[in-house]
Each structure stands twice: as structure tokens, then as C-alpha cells.
Amino acid sequence: MTLRSNKRRPLTRKEKKYRDDRLFIIATEDTYCPTHYFDLFHNSRIHVHVLPTREGRSAPEHVLRRLNDYVEEHETMEEDEFWLVLDTDHWTEPNHIASFSEVCTEASQKGFQSAHSNPCFELWLLLHLTDLDTNEQFARCEEVVERLKAILGGYSKKRGIDPTHFSPEARILAVDRAENLDGDSPSGDRWPQKTGSHVYRLVKKLLQQ
């Protein structure tokens, strides 16, 4: 395996203890929720590291910059993967969509992969708990959160999630449900054009490790 030299390894990665210790670096606009969720995936073969938003720097260009800075500052292997995880939420509104599209294009050009959710990451969590009809659309993240609260009896971004609700079996269900929502959408779509989440593309890879 080829190494990119002259860069430091992340302190949390065990120094080549496992031959298949593969990094998945995930930059997200959220501060809490994706970190809580992806913490469930650590095992001896992979290390999942989330780069959350700090100090309110959640705009897509800031999230992309964090991912790019990580690559510039750390030594990585060819099999490591780098993911940009954003919410469409208000970024696809007319006054933001041009810059959002530009960020997605730049990420692709850098070899980063994308796993965006429409309208937000909580939609991905919801798919662990219930199926959604392809005709059911959520216009705002608040609507998704209200559904989560109704099913879970409460939900807060800052609190950790109960692993029993997001078990390996539930993750497989979520992948199937998200793929169904994706339906006949072109595989090259950089984000879901209707209610759905491309996080399944990332989680499918994690489940295969």
C-alpha cells in the first residue's frame, strides 16, 4: 500500500496495528448528531473519524475546507476514503444553490465522495425507525425532527443516540429504505432531489468492512 509521506497520522489511529485499518474521514455541517451516529461503526478493520462543525462554521465551503485541510495535514493511504456530508435544507434554495453546487463539484474534483440528505441528516436517522412512502415529502428539517420525537419519545441533537434504535439490523433496513427512496434517480446526482438521503452510500461501505 502506498503512503503519502511527510504528513502526520491522526492520533486516534493505531499505528498500523491492523493491515486493514482503513480510515473513513467524514466532514459534516452538524456538530453533534453525525458524530454520535458514526461512533457506532468503529471496529478493528476501520476507523471512522468525523470532522464536526465548530464555532458555527457550517456553510458548505467551510465543511469542504475542513476535509481538504485534513488531507493536507495528515498522512493517508490510498484505500482511505473522504466524505462530505451535508444537508440540502436551505442550501438548495435559489440564493444558495449556486455555491452549494460549486462545493459539490469541487469535492468531486478532489476525489471526495458525497452523502447528502434532503432535507437533513435526521432523515437518515428516521429511516432506521420507519419506512417512508416515495410520495411523502419533508420540506423542512423541523418536520423530520418532529417525526423522530414522536417515534422515540424525544430527540435532541446534543444528546447521544440510543444504539438499540440504530443497531446493525436497523442500519441495513435504513440502507434498503434509502435506496428505495432514491429510486430511479440518476446515480450521478450530487444530492437527493427529493426527500431522501445518500448517507446509505457511505453506510453500505462501512457495513462491508
The residues near 106 (Cβ < 8 Å, ≥ 6 apart) are 64
Exposure of 84 by Cβ count < 10 A (0-12 exposed, 13-18 middle, 19+ buried)?
A: buried
Reference 9, options 82, 73, 78; nearest CA is 73
User: What mean pLDDT value characterizes the chain?
Assistant: 88
Q: Are 56 and 31 in contact (CB under 8 A)?
A: no
pLDDT one-digit tens code per residue, 79-125: 999 999 999 988 888 888 999 999 999 999 999 999 999 999 999 99
Residue 94's pLDDT is 84
Query: How many whole angstroms separate alpha carbon 123 and alpha carbon 83?
Result: 18
Cβ-based burial of 152 (10 A; exposed 0-12, middle 13-18, buried ≥19)? middle
The secondary structure of residue 10, as a DSSP letter, is P
Position with higher pLDDT, 10 vs 142: 142
* Phi and psi angles of residue 66, each rounded to the nearest 5 degrees, phi first: -65, -40
Residue 3 has pLDDT above 60, yes or no: no
Statement: residue 15 has pLDDT above 80: no
> Residues 67-88: what's their mean pLDDT?
95
Q: pLDDT per residue over 137-168, tens digit each?
A: 999 999 999 999 999 999 998 888 999 999 99
Name the amino acid, one letter, at 24.
F
The predicted structure's pLDDT at residue 23: 94
